[in-house]
């Protein structure tokens, strides 16, 4: 029995009962949900969560996150394909492993669509730009989009479709406390457990990192607490991505920027003065379609922005009656790729660059 876990079980007074039920290791505990533990051990929700946290800490030793200088130099710089050659070109090879990539944009811009697509491409053979791995999809905005996943999977051979869905592990979070516990303790424990699996986890999607915080009431004290929590989550995700060589893909929302007389200021416009699309020569004309969407700012502020390595901006034209909505993907910042974009379309098979 692990020391930390044993202390918690003793404190609650269920050590012997846990051993009788063969719940005598972190791995056994983490294979159960809080509901399972409540039912089997006859405890309340608070005690069940305390046991899972203790098991997570035991299963994942944070000292393992440290790397030597040589290991950092030898770090595998492979990327995950998006399954589209033009988008991969914009991203200079695809989504980086060992890093945090943020996909940000307003609603209906294609964020979740692209994230689901990455969960499938992660399972493709290495020869096709995939990683022959599996994916974790953490969602907080309603139910998991299973109908859309079925639609995307239908473009693959029928013999592969069920296995593709089986290797996407979905987790629902309901509040900020649950999200913090999952990202800080349970997720790293799960990645450690999966490290020796036939198809180890290679991409983790968080959809979205900000929805929980925006939906909860915020007092002044809670606002500062939230900033500290976001900083800590960002730091932990960054170390986790590096330690397990996984791509962390965090979806973020945007909000309007208050302006005088609804006119953007010079600084806001200058940020997009280098707007360029590789699949459309009319760049000066095209930015007018997307500027309203591009000027919206990512939520969570600098405390989160300083944690991410890459930001991919998705934008769309205004949704007007009688006009087709157009979309664009733009590399806003990255250590490995210049600021560049491409027009995209979304169809039954996923997100693709416009021909």
How confident is the model at residue 96, as a pLDDT? Answer: 95
Q: Closest by alpha carbon to 180, among 219, 213, 135, 217?
A: 213
What pLDDT is recorded for position 245? 94
What does the pLDDT look like over 127-171, one tens digit per residue? 888 999 999 999 998 899 999 999 999 999 999 999 999 999 999
Residue 78's pLDDT is 79
| Distance, CA of 24 to CA of 85 (rounded, Å) | 49
Q: Which of 40, 46, 36 is nearest to 14 (CA)?
A: 40
**DSSP single-letter state for residue 245:** T
The number of residues in the chain equals 355
- For the chain, percent helix, then strand, then coil, each to nearest 5? 45, 20, 35
Residues 152/120, Cβ–Cβ less than 8 Å:
yes
pTM (predicted TM-score): 0.79
Helix (H, G, I), strand (E, B) or coil at 84: coil
Per-residue pLDDT of the chain (355 residues; tens, 9 = 90+): 447 888 899 999 999 898 888 887 887 787 777 778 888 899 998 898 888 888 887 776 555 545 555 444 333 447 999 999 999 999 999 999 999 999 999 999 999 999 999 999 999 998 888 999 999 999 998 899 999 999 999 999 999 999 999 999 999 999 999 999 999 999 999 999 998 888 999 999 999 999 998 888 776 666 778 888 999 999 999 999 999 999 999 999 999 987 776 677 777 888 898 899 998 877 656 788 899 999 999 999 888 999 999 999 999 999 888 889 999 999 999 999 999 999 999 999 999 999 8
The pLDDT value given to residue 74: 39
Check residue 283 and give its pLDDT.
64
Whether 127 contacts 198, CB under 8 Å: no
Specify the pLDDT at position 57.
76
pLDDT value of residue 296? 94
């Amino acid at each position: 029995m692990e020391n930390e876990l044993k202390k918690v079980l003793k404190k609650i007074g269920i050590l012997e009962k846990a051993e009788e039920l063969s719940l005598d290791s972190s791995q056994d505990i983490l294979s159960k949900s809080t509901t399972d533990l409540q039912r089997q051990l006859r405890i309340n929700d608070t005690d069940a969560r305390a046991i899972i946290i203790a098991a997570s800490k035991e299963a994942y030793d944070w000292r393992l996150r440290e790397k030597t200088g040589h290991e950092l130099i030898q770090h595998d710089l492979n990327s995950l394909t998006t399954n589209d050659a033009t988008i991969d070109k914009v991203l200079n090879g695809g989504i980086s492993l060992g890093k945090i990539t943020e996909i940000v944009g307003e609603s209906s811009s294609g964020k979740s669509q692209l994230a689901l697509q990455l969960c499938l491409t992660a399972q493709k053979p290495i020869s096709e730009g995939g990683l022959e791995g599996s994916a974790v999809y953490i969602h907080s905005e309603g139910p998991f989009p299973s109908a859309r996943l079925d639609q995307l999977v239908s473009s693959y051979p029928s013999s592969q479709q069920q296995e593709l869905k089986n290797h996407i592990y979905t987790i629902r979070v309901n509040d900020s406390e649950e999200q913090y516990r999952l990202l800080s303790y349970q997720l790293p424990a799960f990645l450690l457990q999966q490290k020796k699996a036939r198809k180890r986890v290679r991409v983790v999607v968080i959809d979205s990192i900000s929805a929980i915080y925006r939906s909860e009431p915020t007092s002044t004290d809670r606002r500062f607490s939230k900033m500290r929590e976001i900083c800590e989550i960002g730091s932990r995700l960054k170390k986790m991505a590096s330690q397990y060589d996984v791509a962390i893909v965090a979806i973020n929302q945007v909000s309007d920027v208050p302006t005088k007389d609804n006119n953007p200021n010079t600084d806001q416009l200058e940020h997009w003065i280098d707007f360029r699309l590789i699949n459309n020569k009319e760049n000066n004309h095209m930015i007018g379609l997307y500027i309203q969407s591009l000027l919206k700012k990512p939520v969570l502020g600098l405390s989160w922005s300083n944690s991410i390595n890459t930001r991919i901006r998705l934008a769309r034209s205004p949704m007007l009656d009688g006009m087709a909505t157009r979309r664009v993907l733009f590399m806003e910042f990255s250590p490995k790729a210049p600021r560049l974009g491409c027009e995209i379309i979304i169809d039954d098979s996923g997100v693709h660059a416009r021909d």
